[in-house]
Amino acid sequence: MADKVAVDCPNAPKALGPYSQAIKVGDMVYISGQLPLDPRTGELCDPDIEGQTRRALDNVRAILEFMGAATASVIKTTVYLVSLADFDLMNEVYAEFFPYCPPARAVVEVAALPKGAFIEIEAIAQIPRVEASKGQGLA
């Protein structure tokens, strides 16, 4: 079995609790749910679902890039929405990040999210083998 290694990306918000931003196992990276937080301040960024979706996906992308991957490497996402009424607006922004061969996805409505966010997005991606062997981005 491949070693499990925590990822600590300086360009994404720090974890709000006892969990890792992401875990790398072999050539796979499991990205914890990303809230729409500014990586520098840790505070909520935008007052609307479009801006929050963009920020959450920017945080996912920052971790991917830190690991030598891109949004095209994403295999599966889970999107948590406080209101399914935001589904269409979220989808418009989401499509910008995954224009070709979008990943498998689940969308779930939840009662609340940390810091009053409207959205949280987690992802599973495969790191290109050349980058995976470098050990880049590991804590």
137 is a domain residue: no
C-alpha span between 4 and 51 (Å, rounded): 33
C-alpha span between 37 and 17 (Å, rounded): 14
CATH number (domain holding residue 33): 3.30.1330.40
52 is a domain residue: yes
pLDDT, average across residues 14-22: 94
Residue ranges making up the domain that contains 45: 4-132
Q: What are the E-state strand segments in 4-72?
A: 4-7, 22-25, 28-34
39 is a domain residue: yes
The model's pTM: 0.91
pLDDT tens digits for range 56-104: 999 999 999 999 999 999 999 999 999 999 999 999 999 999 999 999 9
- Mean pLDDT across the chain, nearest whole number? 93
107 is a domain residue: yes
β-pairing verdict for 104-109 and 22-25: unpaired
Percent with pLDDT over 90 in the chain: 88
139 is a domain residue: no
Count how many domains the chain has: 1
